[in-house]
Chain A
């Protein structure tokens, strides 16, 4: 799996959009970008994944650059419950192997 780089921490005001960046410059053509988050003392939670087109679901939007070397996870209206560590992971779809977690970004949503 390709390596990813994320800022260690970010703050966001409640109600504002949270934009979490991820660099994955060594991503291969068949690798997808996955995002998970981990709220304190809970297991990781799947958020979204994508290959090259932008994706949106009820939780977030994923913007992937045209060269696929970076992406941004967008939480459109952050709430206090979105405070968590967000992990960007690059892997082949349906690979079935274990997920490799980097350091992630600790997002603190403040009132």
Chain B
């Protein structure tokens, strides 16, 4: 089956530092990857849509200069949280849309970010 990995699975950083999260489709190509954020006891909220070779599309209220997204290949998208603050602490999840007729999406295991 289609597998999506995220790295790291868990990260703790100091306030003001930047953190990069990788999302990889391991056995399929993905032209589009979606980045979600989930706060405790809440549902997943879409942050941005990442398209290979082009700029990401951000949802309303998500700062593009703070959450930098790069989708340089058909198997890798990265999310960089710049100048992280405690309020950025959250569970970040990516999903990858398979480059196939079914356009099926597969989710990564998530990255738990804690900003001290």
Contact = CB atoms under 8 A, between A and B. Distances in A.
Interface of A: 38, 41-46, 87, 94-96, 98-104
B79 to A, nearest CB: 14
B43 A99 contact: no
A95 B102 CA distance: 8
Contacts, number: 46
Interface residues of B, number: 25
Interface of A is mostly: loop
Please classify the interface of chain B as helix (H, G, I), strand (E, B), loop, or mixed, using the class held by over half of its residues.
Answer: strand
A98 B109 contact: no
Most chain A CB neighbours (cut-off 10 Å) among B6, B43, B93: B43
A97 B20 CA distance: 24
Interface of B: 4, 6, 32, 34, 36, 43-46, 49, 91, 93, 95, 97, 101-110, 112
A7 B27 CA distance: 36
A104 B43 contact: yes
Nearest to A45: B107
